[in-house]
Amino acid sequence: MGIRIAGVGSYAPEKVLTNFDLEKMVETSDEWIRTRTGIRERHIAADDQVCSDLATSAAEKALAMAGLSAAEIDFILVASISGDHVFPSTACVVQSKIGAANAGCLDIQAACSGLLYGMEVASGLLRGHKKYNNILVIGAEKLSMIVDWEDRNTCVLFGDGAAALIVQKTADDEPLFMASEVKADGNYGKILQLPAGGSAIPASHKSVDERLHYMRMEGQEVFKLAVNGMVGSCRKVLDEAGITADQIRWLIPHQANYRILKAVASRLGIPEDNVFMNLDRYGNTSAASIGLCIDEMVNDKLVKNGDYILLTAFGGGLTFGAMLLKWNM
């Protein structure tokens, strides 16, 4: 059997929040945000748009490109840290909205590495089970809901969006998935977290007063670990596949900060021209970011079959990893 990407789709909410808009909200400047992060603007969902709405819009586009009906989807995996509810899962809500009556549904909580984890699970499901043929992998975030808009250390970084990929079994033997590593180090959980709302700190007046329902981050620590984690995983998958950095057509890193992306590329010896970035227009959209890149690249015809594409990500958990694809669409 082979595996291919049968369809991709993405959705970014209509409202755009620029760095100049942020200057009016917290003590910051367009210049600081651009030079420290590379971000110029981000999309922000409307009050009545929930995470599953963004996910559904992206999924419908991916289904249309694949020429599949929702009933043909065997599994829906939604990677998110800003889903509609603690439960039911956002995957179940998406299932209902698109009418994918035959799908198993599972949310994946691996923060910014969510899409990589989702692709890893999809690869395992397709390879391990005859009964699965079409898996819908979605990364979707309404981060604006969990961002502390009074905290300039974090609020300038994040944005909302969603992307969907349909990963499909084929009759040929083109593998798509060449090598992967998805890892975590739970010892560093506290440096990037949303403290309250779970059983550790259930919602209370106190937790609200202390702003514990918003994301907290130790930026510099995350920065260092991000570079080391992504570089290490990329080297592992390249070694495993017997591929060298100069054979990589595109490095698609999780879009966190252009300084992180450049540091990773430089340590891997991948020229900047081969690194895809769109964070200037989206900010950090966590689990959606790699998918938003892939969708844009497919639409702009920047990828062709046979290209080696290296995905890498890092996020809360801590989670990190890399995946080498031989593009097949």
For the annotated catalytic residues, the residue numbers are: 112, 254, 284
To the nearest whole angstrom, how small is the minimum distance from the Cβ of residue 259 to ligand UT7? 7
Other residues' Cβ atoms within 10 Å of the Cβ of residue 269 = 10
Kindly report the backbone phi and psi dihedral angles of residue 131, in degrees, each rounded to the nearest multiple of 5, phi listed first: -75, -15
Bridge partners of residue 2, in order along the sequence: 170
Tokens of 142: 């309404």
Q: How far apart are CA 282 and CA 156, in angstroms?
A: 11
Q: Write out the residues near ligand UT7 by the rule CB under 6 A.
A: 28, 32, 36-37, 112, 152-153, 156, 192, 217, 219-220, 222-223, 226, 254, 256-257, 260, 284, 314-315
Q: For ligand UT7, which is the closer residue by CB, 216 or 326?
A: 216
8 Å CB contact between 154 and 215: yes
Residue nearest ligand UT7, Cβ-based: 219
Bridge partners of residue 11, in order along the sequence: 162
8 Å CB contact between 251 and 310: yes
Pairing verdict, β 177-184 and 319-326:
antiparallel
Q: Which helix (H) or strand (E) holds 30?
A: helix 30-37
To the nearest whole angstrom, how small is the minimum distance from the Cβ of residue 14 to ligand UT7? 24
To the nearest whole angstrom, how small is the minimum distance from the Cβ of residue 319 to ligand UT7? 10
Which residue in 250, 254, 242, 268 sits closest to 307, CA to CA? 250
To the nearest whole angstrom, how small is the minimum distance from the Cβ of residue 156 to ligand UT7? 4
8 Å CB contact between 180 and 237: yes
* Widest distance between CA atoms in the chain: 58
Detail the DSSP E strand segments found in the chain. Answer: 2-11, 15-18, 41-44, 75-79, 104-108, 134-141, 161-170, 177-184, 192-193, 216-217, 248-253, 308-315, 319-326
Torsion, Cα 250 253 255 261, to 10 degrees, reads: -90
To the nearest whole angstrom, how small is the minimum distance from the Cβ of residue 257 to ligand UT7? 4
Q: For ligand UT7, which is the closer residue by CB, 111 or 166?
A: 111
Q: For ligand UT7, which is the closer residue by CB, 7 or 229?
A: 229
To the nearest whole angstrom, how small is the minimum distance from the Cβ of residue 222 to ligand UT7? 4
Tokens of 115: 């899409």
Q: For ligand UT7, which is the closer residue by CB, 83 or 229?
A: 229
To the nearest whole angstrom, how small is the minimum distance from the Cβ of residue 194 to ligand UT7? 12
Q: For ligand UT7, which is the closer residue by CB, 174 or 280?
A: 280
- Overall size of the chain counted in residues: 329
